[in-house]
Structure 1
Amino acid sequence: MYTMEAVSEGISEASQCIVESMLQERKVVCCGEGSSGLIAQHFATNLLHYFQHERPGLPALCLNADSATATAIASQAGYNDIYANQIRALGQQGDCLLLCYHGSSNSNTLRCVQAAHERDMRVITLCGPQGGDVSALLQPDDIELAFPVDNKARLNEMHLIAVHSICELIDTQLFGTSAL
């Protein structure tokens, strides 16, 4: 049976990366497609509102949550740029990008990572066992959480556990709170 031990160090590094950004008054930009997009949106919501304990909201946004913007970009610039265009407009040096995907890289995810690097953003990916071409784009200070799970339903579950773990670590590091 697969456990989270394989990615526990990466989860810790991801939370630290996000905390460092927030201490510099930066934000987390999240995105993903399909069920991965829902996980990205869930993560952003947990940061903006609160995870398990009431606390001040933390700066986060989810690019796939705005369907009007995504469809406008797709109809004029092409689907491959729906996240890259938003990152170029909204991303700042010191921000973090959290990209959730199942592991099959497409030009949309590739351009998204490239745009984040153009804006001097660190990238955190949650992906399947094969990070695809996105893995080759990652820089040494980026973080890849590659889960050795081929079944998409189980992969989504692992991504959700990772997101919850990252949220708990962020809250503990910033506010000294943790789950009871």
Structure 2
Amino acid sequence: MKDHVKKILDELLARFDCLRGCEKEIVTAYQLMEECYTHGGKVLICGNGGSQADADHIVGELMKGFLLKRPVSREYATQLGRDFEDGAYLAANLQGALPAISLGNHNALLTAFSNDVAPDMGFAQQVFGYGKKGDVLIGLTTSGNSGNVVNAAKIAKSLGVSVVSITGAGGGKIAALSDSAIQLPATETYLVQELTLPVYHALCAMIETHFFACS
């Protein structure tokens, strides 16, 4: 296990002792995300209700600075300065990004697909359209049985997109489809959601440290 992963994981477990037992799957999820980003991939995230809010939150931590500054490269800053009068401003106000898409935000597409085709296939359609081999799908479902999230995972698997699921205890139907099935030690929806946030914060911190600690 890489030093920064162990450090962040140890800090997570010190604050949330109940997550002991999830360590292996959390590390696997990190490894899948690291490999994805190393090879120019992206992370797709889906969920319903509170899980959709968490999907948006994850995108916010990946697409901009979370715990670290992420300045653009000197070469890119020089290019912007060469090409535009306000190049210095542009460079100073850009941050390194880890590509991530929250699938629940595409309201026109989702409502059209729900009305015209099938309500439980909206996320699957997006995975089919966006997903490439080597990408990662994070499926957030407290029960593990949300039909639209499970169907998205099925399409992901068919495309060679790795699946990370974050669920409550037992994992539900999505667990069998997952390359990493993080099954949190709770069953009540709100309790699963309360444990979901520190887990994805830890994952985002691990990924950010790997790619931007030396920026």
TM-score (structure 2 length as normaliser): 0.76
Q: Residue in 2 aligned with 1:152? A: 189
Question: Gaps spanning 5+ residues in structure 1: where?
Answer: none
Q: CA deviation at 1:45?
A: 1.5
> What is the identity, as a one-letter code, of the residue corresponding to 2:133?
Q
Instruction: Please give the per-residue CA displacement for 1:128-166, whole angstroms capped at 9, x wherever unaligned.
Output: 11221222333xxx0000011022222111100001000
Q: How does 1:1-180 map to 2 (within 5 A)?
A: 3-55=18-70, 56-138=96-178, 142-176=179-213
In 1, Cα distance between equivalents of 2:171 and 2:31: 22
The answer to which structure has the higher helix fraction is: 2
Q: CA deviation at 1:14?
A: 1.0
Q: Which has the larger radius of gyration?
A: 2
Q: Work out the number of aligned pairs and report it.
A: 174
Could you say what secondary structure the match of 2:20 adopts?
helix
Could you say what secondary structure the match of 2:65 adopts?
coil
CA contact (8 A) 1:12 1:169 kept: no
TM-score (structure 1 length as normaliser): 0.90
* Identity %, equivalent residues: 26
In 2, Cα distance between equivalents of 1:132 and 1:165: 23
Evaluate the alpha carbon distance shift between residue 125 and residue 104 of structure 1 in structure 2; reply closer, same or farther with a 3 A threshold: closer
Could you say what secondary structure the match of 2:22 adopts?
helix
Could you say what secondary structure the match of 1:165 adopts?
helix
Task: Note the aligned Cα RMSD (angstroms).
Answer: 1.5
Q: CA deviation at 1:167?
A: 0.6
> What is the identity, as a one-letter code, of the residue corresponding to 1:151?
E
Evaluate the alpha carbon distance shift between residue 21 and residue 66 of structure 1 in structure 2; reply closer, same or farther with a 3 A threshold: same
CA contact (8 A) 1:129 1:148 kept: yes
